[in-house]
Structure formats: structure tokens, C-alpha cells
Structure 1
Amino acid sequence: MFKDRIDAGEQLAKKLSSYKDKENVVILAIPRGGLPLGAIVAKSLNAQLDVALSKKIGHPFNKEFAIGAVSLNNIILDDNIEVSIDYIEKEKKRLREKLKKRQAQYYKNRFPIALKDKIVIIIDDGIATGNTIRVTAQLVYDQKPEKIMIAIPVAPKSTVQKLRNATYVDEVVCLETPFNFQAVGQFYMDFDQVSDEEAIKILEDFNS
């Protein structure tokens, strides 16, 4: 469906063109894979660009399967998960240590953009369970923005519906909701990992 993240970012930017040149729009990219798309969308809309820092909580027997997500201030867990409270507490502590380090990397020379009264568009390169983006939306909601949007190239239909039902999300834009969804990468011809160094450089270059 997408050649690479640049192609996906350009397609998202076209879909969001009604927000071009509005003064209070902030693009909030989820590192690391969301940053190449976020930079393209922010440039196209003439908007500000920042990052949202959160990490998924993996299942104890399959770390790739997200059972929740954590930010520096919030935690969200899937309903009906049979995982011990002890495991959740340990993971929360471990992931928050990682997030503190990542915050120090991404905000070496600047402060996060204040999101109060802003139209915040949260962008990632695609989502599976949606847990990471949901905890990000909760984090943004606490800052009292004017509007919270989620914009992604690809996601399962059920996840998009779950996001649309969330009280703290005003709008969801998703380009494709394929039936046979297994992983985000299957819908990209080129889905190379984005390193922290690359993501930080994209952010710094945009804001320089």
C-alpha cells in the first residue's frame, strides 16, 4: 500500500490539507517510526512538530504483543488481561526509566511545545492494538488542547473503531483498514527501522 514512510507521510499530508496554515496546529509524532511522516505532514501544513514519548507494555510471554502502554505520567492497560500486578509495576518502572533517557535525548536543546488550546494531530507510521497511541492521546488530553486527532496510514478496523470510541479523541484519520492485518510492516515495501539518532536528527533539522 505504501512505498515507504515518505510516501505514507505525503498521502497523510494530502488528507489533512484542510489544516494547512492554521496557527494553532501541532503535529505530535510517535518516535521513532512516526517522525519521518510527522515531519512531512508538519512541513506540508506549515505546522509545529514535536514528539510524544510513550512505550508499549509487552505481554510477559510475547513482548511484541502489547497489553498496554505507559508514558511518564499515564498508564493504560487492555481490559481483561491476566497478568500479575507485580509484572505491570516492574514493567512500568523499567519503561519509565527508558522514557526519561529518551526525553533527555529528544529535549537536549529545547522544551516540549505547550499543547493547551492547540489542535494536536498525533501521527505514527501505523498501529496494531493502538495502545501506545491511546496513552499518548490521554497524555495530550490532560494538557487541555482544543482538539485531539489521530492520523495514521494503516490500522485494523477494530482498532480504529476503538480509538473513535475513546472519549479523549475527537477525530481519527486512517488511510487504510485492511482485512488481513497482522503487522504494520506488511503494508510497506520499505519498512526499515528508524534509529533514535535518525529520529532526533529529523526533529532537530525541522526545528532549526
Structure 2
Amino acid sequence: MRFDNRRQAGQELAVRLLEWAGDRDLTDTLVLALPRGGVPVAAEIARALHVPLDVLVARKIGLPDNPELGIGAIVGEDPPAFDRTALEALHVSEDKLGAVVARERLELHRREQIYRSGRPAPRVNGRSVVLVDDGLATGNTARAALRHLRRQDPARLVLAVPVGAPRTADALRVEADDVICLHQPRNLVSVGQWYDDFGQVSDDEVLEVLRGVQSAI
């Protein structure tokens, strides 16, 4: 299974979420997207379920000399959630990552300010929350986001992604009440390889999608 783009992936995922919803009361349900890539995917789900859409900004923590190699993630003011196995394998200590964490925290706050324009973060307590991203590779960002949300005591916490590594999806089942992952290829190297169009999503696109969904619901 390959996806044309994030929007088409979101439409496919929305079909599965409608099955998941069944006869559930969705009155107090919230869809949260991990920006930027998760936003176009999540928008299709929010439209299909007729529920609000917002964002949960998380940032990957990479090595100082290899930023693309994710070894952890941060959400809000939470302490960094590191992949301990990766740190040990790479012989990297947390105290050497302080500058990386500080830089990513600044970018996290910048994006929160842009995407929310002063709006407070949505209430999570007591709600059914569907967390959406465009895919799972290491799962570090999703794990940090799920733990952040769990501490806010949602009624139900669901992770929904179009594609993900099987071991990662399985590992995250201890963090969420439900994990919905449409495609779990054994040979997943990167999420982008399962999309024909996996271009970077801009801040302007995120804002446009958020406005479009909010006006349609």
C-alpha cells in the first residue's frame, strides 16, 4: 500500500476511524495532529468524524552531528523523552544533548505561537483524543506526545497513522488505548518512501488547513 500524498492517506485513515467510532458518542472527541506532516492527514479525519482539530507540537531530538537521527523528543515543557537503547548503542550521554534540546524547545515554542496565535491548548481531560501523524519510524515523537497527553487524563487515547514500522506500532500499544496503523511494512526504512508526494509542509499550509477545518465543522 502506497499513498499519493498526505491528504489521500488521511482519507484512507478516516475510513478506518469511522469504523472505530461505530456507535460511539463523539461529542467530546478531539483530533490532535503532530505538525507539520500530521496536519493534512488529521484534517481528513476531523472532517469525517465532524470533530475539532488542533495541534500538539512535538520536536524530535537528533544527534548534534546528525540531526536526522532521532534519539528522543520533547513536548511542551516536559523533560526530554530519550530512547535509552539508542543512547547506549551510540555511546551518547544526555548531558551532551543540552544545546540540542534547548534549540528544539525554542522551535517548539515558535511553532506553538504561530499555530495558536494566542489560543490556549485544548482541554484533554475527560475527552477522547485521537493523535495523528503521517507515519511511524522510531516512534520517539509519538511516544513523547502520548505520554504528555496521558498525564492530562483523557477518557480514551488513540494513535492513528497511515503507515508505520510493525515493531514501533506494537511498542506504542502500551502508551495508547488503541493504535490504528493502516500499513505496517516489514521493510520500512523511512515514512516518506510510502508516499508518492512527501514534500515538506510549511507553516502557512498548517494554518490554512487548520482554518479550513475549523470553518467546516
Cα drift, residue 23 of structure 1 = 0.5
The residue aligned with 1:58 is 62
Cα deviations by residue, 1:156-180 (Å, 9 ceiling, x for unpaired): 11101110133xx111000011011
Give SS of 1:152's match: strand
- Which residues of structure 2 form unaligned runs of 5+? none
Match of 2:179 among 168, 172, 177: 172
The residue aligned with 1:39 is 43
- Which residues of structure 1 form unaligned runs of 5+? none
Check the 8 A contact 2:36/2:206 in 1, yes or no. yes
Give SS of 1:66's match: strand
Give SS of 1:158's match: helix
- The alignment status of 1:89 with 2:91, answered yes or no, reads no
CA distance in 1, matches of 2:177, 2:214: 27
- Counterparts of 1:90-105 in structure 2 under 5 Å? 90-105=99-114
Give SS of 2:182's match: strand
RMSD over equivalenced CA pairs, Å: 1.4
CA distance in 1, matches of 2:137, 2:17: 22
- The alignment status of 1:78 with 2:83, answered yes or no, reads yes
Cα deviations by residue, 1:52-98 (Å, 9 ceiling, x for unpaired): 11100012332111100011222211123121333222222111111
Check the 8 A contact 2:59/2:74 in 1, yes or no. yes
CA distance in 1, matches of 2:129, 2:76: 19
Match of 2:209 among 184, 191, 202: 202
* Runs (4+) off by over 6 Å: none
- Counterparts of 1:150-169 in structure 2 under 5 Å? 150-166=159-175, 169=176
**What TM-score, normalized by structure 2, do the two folds share?**
0.90
Check the 8 A contact 1:127/1:154 in 2, yes or no. yes
The worse-fitting range, judged by mean Cα deviation, of 56-65 and 152-161 is 56-65
CA distance in 2, matches of 1:68, 1:152: 19
State the number of aligned residues: 206
**What TM-score, normalized by structure 1, do the two folds share?**
0.94
Give SS of 1:93's match: helix
Give SS of 1:16's match: helix
Match of 2:200 among 190, 193, 199: 193
Cα drift, residue 109 of structure 1 = 5.1
CA distance in 1, matches of 2:13, 2:147: 22
The worse-fitting range, judged by mean Cα deviation, of 116-125 and 57-66 is 57-66
The worse-fitting range, judged by mean Cα deviation, of 25-34 and 103-112 is 103-112
